[in-house]
Structure 1
């Protein structure tokens, strides 16, 4: 059994930490929880994160863990991103880049200790047992989800091909450039007149994924279950399950159940779950000066050191048709913005066409979320409905965000 911990740093990975633990973020091809389950060959029984995420509920995600973590369990730092290779079964401590990434606990760890901002896994190292250094990397900042995407896809896709029993695509009417290959799981479909460019990396289509005619897909690229590429150029992306993607999209992560179904450029960005981008929504991912991009964080505006960085869209964020977004933009959970270009940061549950934004009322938001989810045959049940109402109150009172 395993528990995944968001440390103090992970709990500031906005806009996503407003509404989900980092273990439920897609990093590379997989959710962090799925990645650690493959590495340790055991299931995650709970996530340990900010108190406002205690009611988080989503598909097969484990619940927020209350109480102590028992002896014998694995405790994992959610910012650690291991390569998809089985860990040494005899090891009790796993190291990535000289930092402790996971510990099999020799004694219980108290709930109060886990929520101490100063707590690290070094505090619970066992007195006996063996350490193993495994390949991987760390997310030091939220924008590393973008900055490390290509590196992770090049590692993840070859490991996932045999795990998914995917086969190499061999189909008339489809053009494959490069030597890395296109791999398709059972039930994936590719229409004629599609071009796959695997010069820089492979492409993997999961079960039920589809690529429509007149699409150009550039590897490394991962397309999750039942997601569809509907035309255009999709390059270097990780697309979670049940997404609709069209237009020009590059180096972008879709957590899952998100829609970019129309024209418009989205680059070096992250779309949380249930995001919908209106037709013609366009992100800027490069400054006219070609300098490094600054991004809003809970600690203020920070120079990311990255030359390419687009928009981070929180869960359930929505944009109107033709919206343009500035380089290094953060759109908070549940925000619905349209017309004028938003500022660098849009607070959660904002609504409107220009600053100052109104508040997206909780009743209106919940009704909208329920209707959108129903279109994908997902029911918003009573418990998550109550949680979203509680979260709305917490997020709209969060003084770290620029006020409307």
Structure 2
């Protein structure tokens, strides 16, 4: 069977993260949504996404396709229902389409004649940017069970103090030195070829994905995910870093999401709660206004390739677009548009050629190729976000 994950109706609610990737490639828990589906379906998938992303994330179609709304996070039961779909059948939750079997590889296929199958219960879904951290505990537990079932962890090294070792899994090549792991409140997953330096204190749930580093003396609270090839330090609480992003120094990051290729300067802090304990509002690209989150704790949302200088301060509920560069004293406003350069005293436009050149240099440092396709994606985002920038 040919499986296709499509962006679905919540794509715009997940900006700025979906400016540079399909919904399927959002990381929550240990794996991306695409990786979860592929593990459970035991096959590769492709995506239907925005036209400007299609060169990097191509569609593979066949005579018979099962299309899945990528905002739905699978469990074994849902994956089995999807596998059993016959041609002309569709799975719904209430009025929302989850998956359907079609000869057309189109997310907007006419389903009026399809046989409707409803699922019971409330499906696990990512519908808002803040869901990525607020639902990370559940996703992390699910991924831990999926990845470690019927497998044996590498031994816990001497000098590492552990509470609830049955909830700790260490992959091959991981190094841990004189650290404490408390997995009594959630699992701790230590990925391949990772490094946890001396004196770190980590509480689950926690995932350190392949090739990532926790620097000396870090204090990490669950539920936190450090994606592949990231570096983290200081204090982190209930945050998700996608991949190739750094928060390597002292300072606090809490109830936050960082995309790819982000860098947080030394002694940077974000607030995650308002002084009056009020509900946090967050900028919505979709509605072009600040909207309620229903959360008392909500910190920083930072799009790909964005960076901040030392001692930067972010207010509660701050959204940073793609490819911004923030520095200086004071608190920047709660929404910094994509391709902005500056700080609390004001912003100018981060010129596209300079932004692309910086992205190339960052990629080269990690031996990752920054392609012409990547440049075209950034150019599209630059043009699409002009209305929110000055200049």
Question: Do both proteins adopt the same fold according to a TM-score greater than 0.5, normalized to the shorter chain?
Answer: yes
Matches of 1:311 and 1:344, distance apart in 2: 9
Residues 1:91 and 1:284: Cα distance change in structure 2 (over 3 Å): same
Structure 2 contact 91–116 (Cα < 8 Å) conserved: no
Q: 2:101 aligned with 1:108, yes or no? A: no
Output aligned runs, 1:1-400, within 5 Å.
1-45=2-46, 47-55=47-55, 57=56, 62-63=57-58, 65=59, 70-83=62-75, 86-88=79-81, 89-92=83-86, 95=91, 98=94, 99-105=96-102, 107-110=103-106, 114=107, 119=108, 123-124=110-111, 127=114, 136-162=123-149, 165-167=151-153, 169-178=155-164, 180-191=166-177, 193-231=178-216, 232-236=218-222, 237-298=224-285, 299=287, 300-339=289-328, 340-395=330-385, 397=386, 399=387
Structure 1 contact 335–349 (Cα < 8 Å) conserved: yes
Does the residue aligned with 1:374 lie in a helix, a strand or coil?
A: helix
Matches of 1:371 and 1:84, distance apart in 2: 41
Residues 1:71 and 1:336: Cα distance change in structure 2 (over 3 Å): same
Does the residue aligned with 1:124 lie in a helix, a strand or coil?
A: coil
Structure 2 contact 169–190 (Cα < 8 Å) conserved: yes
Q: What is the CA-CA distance between 1:87 and the residue it aligns to?
A: 1.8
Q: What is the CA-CA distance between 1:166 and the residue it aligns to?
A: 4.9
Matches of 1:384 and 1:350, distance apart in 2: 19
Residues 1:185 and 1:101: Cα distance change in structure 2 (over 3 Å): same
Q: With structure 1 as the length reference, what TM-score do the two structures score?
A: 0.87
Residues 1:94 and 1:252: Cα distance change in structure 2 (over 3 Å): farther
In the alignment, structure 1 segments of 5+ residues that lack a partner are none
Q: What is the CA-CA distance between 1:95 and the residue it aligns to?
A: 4.9
Residues 1:128 and 1:297: Cα distance change in structure 2 (over 3 Å): closer
Q: Deviations over 1:110-164 (max 9, x none)?
A: 5xxx4xxxx5x8x53774597766984112222111211112112221221138x
Q: What is the CA-CA distance between 1:402 and the residue it aligns to?
A: 6.2
Structure 2 contact 272–298 (Cα < 8 Å) conserved: yes
Q: What is the CA-CA distance between 1:79 and the residue it aligns to?
A: 1.0
Q: Deviations over 1:218-256 (max 9, x none)?
A: 111111000011131112211110000101001111111
Question: What's the RMSD between the two structures over aligned residues?
Answer: 2.5
In the alignment, structure 2 segments of 5+ residues that lack a partner are none
Q: Deviations over 1:264-313 (max 9, x none)?
A: 10001001000011111111111111221110102111110111111000
Matches of 1:181 and 1:166, distance apart in 2: 12
Structure 1 contact 97–137 (Cα < 8 Å) conserved: no
